[in-house]
Chain A
Amino acid sequence: MRKSVAIVGIGQSEFKKNIGKNERRIALEAIKNALTDAGISPHEVDGLVRFNMENLSEVEVARNLGIENLRFFGEIGYGGGGACATVAHAQMAIETDRANVVVCWRARNRGSGVRPWAATGNRVPGDDQFSAPFGCVRPVDQIAMLTRRYMHEFGATWQHLGKVAVTIRDNATRNPQAMMQKPMTLADYEAARYVSEPLRLFDCCLESDGALAVVVVSAERARDLRNKPAYVLAASQGTGPDHVVMTNYYKKNFLETPSKYAAEELYRQAGVTAKDIDCAQFYDAFTPLVLFSLEEYGFCKPGEAPAFVDEGRIGPKGDLPVNTSGSSLSEAYVHGMNLIVEGVRQIRGTSTSQVKDAELSLVTSGAGVPTSAMILAGNPS
């Protein structure tokens, strides 16, 4: 239901290449910070939603926080596709009276820890048995394969990818929490090494240690709390037909991603269109995902995102400012949980790249994987 719940607390750890603390510790710090921000006692928490890739269990969070009666808990799959879905599940739990105060979190020491692809085994099961033996194991290769075809079909160039990276870096330089503080030009972007052609180093997200958490309560409860609530206008999940997680090579419509389906469901619930959105935090594990998302979330037609970017429309003074914290490319890569927190800041008016009078704030999760999205709103009615 529209605006039945709100995000009323946001919290995070520092973001670093090597934070020097374990995931359990930084998760608890982020959760504690989010509850303090909300002005809600940990004893009131009765719901938790985690990523299924999360190493920290609900019971461990409950024991450390002193939660007395954890009556709702669940987990979301598909890595970075799951971030907004954690809030979507919290929303359903609160609406159905299964919980009053739900915390969603993600903690990941990916900067100091191992690259998941580096743990590929000697014998690869499932669909990956048809790609790993050929050296196609890294997410960057998987997304580069989509990108090359996209560039071929629509005439996109490295400059379009570069402008996405440069715009987002510019936002990061205003955000003191962001890992990347050094300004970057298009020439800097071009000079960096390739990782998987056509993708270069700065097309790829950061390798970060960090944790974030959000607190979700009913709209009724939200009104009595200290922060301006970020109401959940709509929250959706989507996969689309014949989908094969990252190795999305086998479906009939090669360039279509689950985002298209999450977007349709999102706007159906919200009763608004892309034209009504004031700012967007697009999942940006890689720059081309921003181009794909501009199209699949309805801001332009297929193939028009490169021109949209060229015209400066995603910049802070454009008609759709995107990724205003520096996001996965330049703030931190924490499976997109930082995009939700930034989406909330835009509603509160506290972003370091604040969009004036932002009323509808779009947040999306992993593109190219089963995904989720939400629209946050500032006006309670």
Chain B
Amino acid sequence: MITERPMPLPDDATTEFWQACQKHELRMQRCASCKEFRWPPRPMCGACQSFDSEWIQVSGRGTIYSYVIAHAPMLPAFAPRAPFPIILVALDEDPAMRMIGNLIGDMREGLQIGAKVTVAFEEVGEVTLPQWKIVGA
């Protein structure tokens, strides 16, 4: 069992997403041909089969679509935080584009489906993760 927190292994389709996060920008992959978002990022557009994409900076605003409160047992890296929330955020630009994340500080105030959130970047070692804050909490 690993003791470190698992971190992303970027690939040819996802490197630009993580590089944008390092600049504290939330950029989503969009088909350069038909303008459909591709999330999670992938090489080909399922709508038009184009390999071309562009990285669109989005507002970083969204809504909590669902969430869980994770209890033990879990990976050792997360255990000291347990129980803690994992949320699913539907982005304002396209509610079908949903991102898994956490709430900064694992704050639970205002945590419910429908709560408005904004992105908040968290540095973990060399990686920057997109996390979330509940608006008004």
Contact = CB atoms under 8 A, between A and B. Distances in A.
Contact of A196 (B65, B70, B81, B97): B70
A135 B86 contact: yes
Given A152-B113, A193-B71, A133 B96 contact: no
A286 to B, nearest CB: 12
Interface string B81-96: 1011010100000001
B14 interface: yes
A254 B65 contact: yes
B75 interface: yes
Interface string A122-153: 11111101111111111001001110110010
Contacts of B55: none
A194 B69 contact: yes
Contact of B101 (A134, A250, A251): A134
A141 B68 contact: yes
Contacts of A247: 100
Contacts of B98: 249-250, 254
A117 B76 CA distance: 12
Contacts of A124: 6-9
B19 interface: no
Given A134-B101, A249-B88, A197 B4 contact: no
B6 A122 contact: yes
Given A122-B4, A130-B99, A145-B67, A194 B83 contact: yes
Contacts of B70: 135-136, 138, 141, 196
B121 interface: no
Contacts of A120: 2, 6, 75
B46 interface: yes
A242 interface: yes
Interface in A183-231: 193-199
Nearest to A137: B75
A123 B6 contact: yes
Nearest to A150: B66
27 contacts: A119-B1, A120-B6, A120-B75, A121-B2, A123-B6, A123-B9, A124-B7, A127-B40, A130-B8, A130-B40, A132-B8, A134-B86, A135-B86, A137-B6, A138-B74, A141-B68, A144-B68, A145-B68, A194-B71, A196-B69, A196-B71, A198-B68, A244-B40, A249-B88, A250-B96, A250-B97, A254-B66
